[in-house]
Amino acid sequence: MEPAVKESVRSYDSSGRVRSSRARQLRVAEVAGLLIVKQGYARTTMADVAAAAEVSVPWLYKVFGAKPLLVKRAYDVLLAGDADPVALAQRPAFRALAAETDPRRVIERYAAISRDLISRVGPLAAALLSAAHSGDADLADLASTISRERLFGAAMVSDHLAELGGLAPGMAPKQARDVVWTLISPEVYRMLALERGWSGRQYELWLTGILSAALLDPGK
């Protein structure tokens, strides 16, 4: 009688494939951003992105969709710094910001976060907004989305400061939101960092100082 054959059953582990896919998505986002900043949105094709990122055009369409969707996904990935499906608000830096009770530390934390985000996505955002303002129909919705998301982030910090009683006398939360929204704009970053050559640290310190002076109650 033949001995029984023992079969080893191993569950399929897809974690490696997931990591590989996310790494490719990050590479595509970085490449797309560089190409659009260098040669403009209109001149950057899906084939250009695929070739530079060393992926196939069909894979790009399968994972990202058409060009406007690819660019929005690239923007989101660069903003987060990775392709992980975790909302910005749930990430450690934002959770620490939400838990901060000192208004001045709120500003400092927010300036550090803003520097981190804008250093990755600022050049791409500025290029996309410029193209949208020049009349590129493909980017109208994307420009509105970018602006709306920035406004949401600005409202988060202004509302937090208001809850802490840290806003300057007479400063309404919506007014504070609009001030933050303006100062963290890609256009401001482009002028200071890309045109005038400011370092990331210089930008962060400037943003901390100007937000503190504009928003905070000097008596607290």
Phi, psi dihedral angles at 167 (to 5 degrees): -70, 150
Q: Which domains does the chain have, with CATH numbers?
A: 15-85 (1.10.10.60), 87-220 (1.10.357)
The answer to whether 122 touches 190, Cβ cutoff 8 Å, is yes
The answer to whether 123 touches 215, Cβ cutoff 8 Å, is no
The answer to whether 141 touches 158, Cβ cutoff 8 Å, is no
The answer to whether 151 touches 158, Cβ cutoff 8 Å, is no
pLDDT tens series, the chain, 220 aa: 444 444 443 444 455 556 678 888 889 988 999 999 999 998 999 999 999 999 999 999 998 999 988 998 888 888 888 888 888 888 999 999 999 999 999 999 999 999 999 998 888 888 888 888 877 777 888 888 888 989 999 999 999 999 999 999 999 999 999 999 999 998 899 899 989 999 999 999 999 999 999 999 887 6
- List alpha helices for 40-170, DSSP H: 46-53, 57-63, 67-80, 92-99, 103-133, 140-163
